[in-house]
Amino acid sequence: MINHKKKVAVALSGGVDSSVAAALLKQGACPEFGRRVEVLGFHLRFWKAKENKAKSKEVENRVKKIGEVLDIPIKFFDVKENFKKIVQNYFLKELKSGRTPNTCVVCNREIKFKFLLEKAKAMKCDYLATGHYARLRPAGYGGQARLLRAKDKKKDQSYFLWGVKLTQEQWGKILFPIGEMESKQKVRQIAKEFGLPTFQTPSSSDVCFLGSLDFTKFLQKQLGNKKGKIIDKKGNVLGEHSGLWFYTIGQRKKIGLSGGPYFVVDKDIKKNTLIVSKNEKDLLKKELVAGEVNWFSGVEPYLPLKVKAKIRYGSAVSSAVVKEKTGKGKYKVIFDRPQKAITPGQSVVFYKQEELLGGGVIQN
């Protein structure tokens, strides 16, 4: 419990989750505080496709309305150039290399937490709060902070936070006010009770900067087409693809083959071939190699390590073992049961019960 009034910066996206986080803090209903604090709203102006400029204006107006309803000042920060340089370029580079990128992980690490913590410090804020569904347990004396899955496992977003690299002191300045909420429905109910304009705001899409823009059209404009063969696992030519970046492992729609369904099971980057199969079991694998691994504690644990792991945001956690390094910064991960559509470029995240231990990028 905090014994004196503190100043908290809240990252406001314009959505219901972050607005409720701000409301809870403002009204003293946040579990971390138990009393009212001085709240300041931060809104980041991200780069978005030009087709979504009207939508961006709508979001900004909503953020201003949140400020009016809660009677808190709002600060706007333009991060368009950094976002485009870091997040969008990463997105396109990964797709071009044949992988399926997880842009939220990069955005959280490089933009949201890093940038906002700097701004919060510059404006004499004691804490930074976000609308993420996650829970944080501050470090006790001589201990380590712990990041836990949200109470609502369906909405838990700890999966996207494994790559955030902060010191223990910095983690002590982060708050997740809605991490203890039982459900999204409860969050919307609270938004309605506070009179917030976000209580019916739809959830954002995975590739937020594209918005309603057609994914295929965007890639055609940015990467163009690079035709190649579509083959089965025996090497039989079945058709032609327009570019490997238009496909992801496990995909079964919009492949352009008759006589299906077919599933994308692999890509051969060197030969520019897309490999498909009618047998869904060909998507099952028990092993992967993870790179760019980040351990939340900052210290590599003793290996081999038994964990619960997720290979994508929407998948369930599954028992696995993280084995010794297979190369510079790479680890072999072996699951007890085969996993469906392990996808290079996506994140594999490690847990011990509720606690996030770390994660990495799936290499193969």
Give the active site residues.
Answer: 107, 208
Give the torsion sign (CA, 213, 216, 221, 223): positive
Q: Hey, how many other C-beta atoms are within 10 angstroms of the C-beta on 308? A: 18
CA distance 116 to 323: 35
CA distance 248 to 169: 39
Element spanning 265, H or E: strand 263-268
- Which among 32, 34, 26 is positioned nearest to 67, based on CA atoms? 26
CA distance 46 to 280: 38
Q: Hey, how many other C-beta atoms are within 10 angstroms of the C-beta on 44? A: 21
Q: Is the peptide bond before 304 cis (omega within 30 degrees of 0)?
A: yes
> Residue 150: CB partners within 8 Å, gap ≥ 6?
132, 133, 134, 135, 156, 157, 158, 176, 178, 179, 180, 181
H and E: helices and strands count for the chain? 9, 17
CA distance 197 to 211: 20
CA distance 8 to 27: 13
CA distance 133 to 15: 13
Q: In one letter, which amino acid is 1?
A: M
CA distance 206 to 52: 15
Measuring CA to CA, how many Å separate 38 from each of 20, 95, 356?
A: 15, 43, 30
Query: Parallel, antiparallel, or unpaired: how do β-strands 174-175 and 127-129 relate?
Result: parallel
